[in-house]
Structure 1
Amino acid sequence: MPYMRPMDPAFPIQQQLGVETSPVVLVNLFLLDPADEQAFLDAWTDDAHFMKAQPGFISTQLHRAVGDSPAYLNYAVWESSARFRDAFTHPEFRAKLSAYPEQAVASPHLFKTVTVPGICVA
């Protein structure tokens, strides 16, 4: 099971799960030992198949750091924080966490889009 390190210790994912908003974007940074990359990819792929089948899931994209850094970033879009919470706290998903390498560090955090006039829309 990966170690969960909050991206923002003042408002970790456990607190964010109680905030009702929509849509939401999950950003999850994974830090790995190089020897654990394949085990991580196998576990993440299994999780992604589970999440993809959950109500409210829109999309996901996994990114790998450039160069020799075995860091990965997952970006997932959900219809709402409630739908993400249902999937993230689902017993089947929680059981899947044991497949991740023990040395892995995960930093999940929820975001919502922001409007910046002339640049981007929410």
Structure 2
Amino acid sequence: MATIATKNEVITVIIIFSVKPEQQQELIDAIAEFLETVKQQPGFISTNLHKSIDGLKVANYAQWQSQADYNNFINNTKVQAKAAKLREFNPPDVHIYEVVISESKEGIPKIKQGQYITHFAEFRMPPENQPRMIELAKENVGKAMELPGLISANFHRSLDGTRVINYGQWLDKESIENLKKQPGFGKDSEYWEGIAENEHHLYEVVLTVPND
């Protein structure tokens, strides 16, 4: 089971595909098939596959023991040949991340199938803006955590400086709508304005694959 913590001695790889709704399940099935090979690779810890409720995204939250293990997996041509089906879809957004903020009401956050609604907030920025984006996240996460329906908020920094992703866990959609009414989170007062562009979708966890 994947756990999220700032002191995790793992690397996180977040892979986000954009798809047409009619393609979403086909992509999920193709990823699930490839995962039978992936889970056998040295250094693999877990994969947690999410599908967006609107049908437009598929997100893979994966953990590896080290960046070297992940690089060996990526550079293994025999293994990657088994991912040919995935290359029929739009190229995904792939980055390596570290957890820099983790706030939770229920201990160390864990990713489980069928437990929470998940919120991937994808912040994109030039590398020089990433430190400020993280500062702003730290300043504003407390207000979000005051909402009763938000279970955890987990900000991840991409090592290349171009992304910050908030992986949030929620009890229900109503709580997410209430967040948008809070100062700094509505369209007219976004706390990241001028620092980053943001795209966000709601997801459900559809498959978790640990290392056997």
TM superposition score normalised by structure 1: 0.67
Structure 1 36/93 Cα, relative in aligned 2: closer, same or farther at 3 Å? farther
Unaligned runs of 5+ in 2: 1-8, 109-212
Report what 1:40 is aligned to.
27
Computed over aligned residues only, the root mean square deviation of the Cα atoms, in angstroms, reads 2.3
Percent identity over the alignment? 28
Aligned pair 1:78/2:71, yes or no?
Answer: no
Q: Does 1:52 align with 2:52?
A: no
C-alpha separation in 2, matches of 1:54 and 1:78: 10
What SS is found at the alignment partner of 2:70? helix
The answer to whether the aligner puts 1:94 opposite 2:80 as a matched pair is yes
The answer on 1:23 being equivalent to 2:10 is yes
Indicate the SS of the match to 1:53.
coil
Distance 2:67 2:13 in 1: 9
Unpaired segments of 5 or more residues in structure 1? 1-21
Q: Say which structure, 1 or 2, has more relative contact order (CA 8 Å, 6+ apart).
A: 1
Q: Structure 1 residue 65 and structure 2 residue 46: aligned?
A: no
CA deviation digits over 1:17-42, x for unaligned, max 9? xxxxx621000001112232233122
Do the aligned partners of 2:20 and 2:55 also contact (CA within 8 Å) in 1? no
Letter of the 1:91 partner, please give it. T
Normalising to structure 2: TM-score of the pair?
0.41
* Contact 1:43–1:96, Cα closer than 8 Å, also in 2: no
Query: Do 2:51 and 2:59's aligned partners in 1 also have CA atoms closer than 8 Å?
Result: yes
CA distance in 2, matches of 1:57, 1:95: 18
| Residues 1:36 and 1:119: Cα distance change in structure 2 (over 3 Å) | closer
Aligned residues between the structures: 97
Separation in structure 2 between the aligned mates of residue 37 and residue 97 of structure 1, nearest angstrom? 17
Opposite residue 29 of structure 1, the aligned amino acid is: I
Post-superposition Cα deviations, 1:11-62, rounded to whole Å, max 9, x if no partner, equal: xxxxxxxxxxx62100000111223223312220122111111111111101
Q: Which has the higher strand share?
A: 2
User: Any idea what the Cα deviations from partners look like across 1:69-117, whole Å, max 9, x if unmatched?
Assistant: 3301100000000001111221123213321263423111001233x5x
Superposed displacement of residue 119, structure 1: 4.4
Give 1:107's aligned amino acid: D
Change in CA separation of 1:32 and 1:93 when aligned onto 2, cut-off 3 Å:
farther
Structure-1 separation of matches of 2:50 and 2:20 = 16
Specify the structure having the higher radius of gyration (Cα): 2
| 2:17–2:91 Cα contact (<8 Å) kept | yes
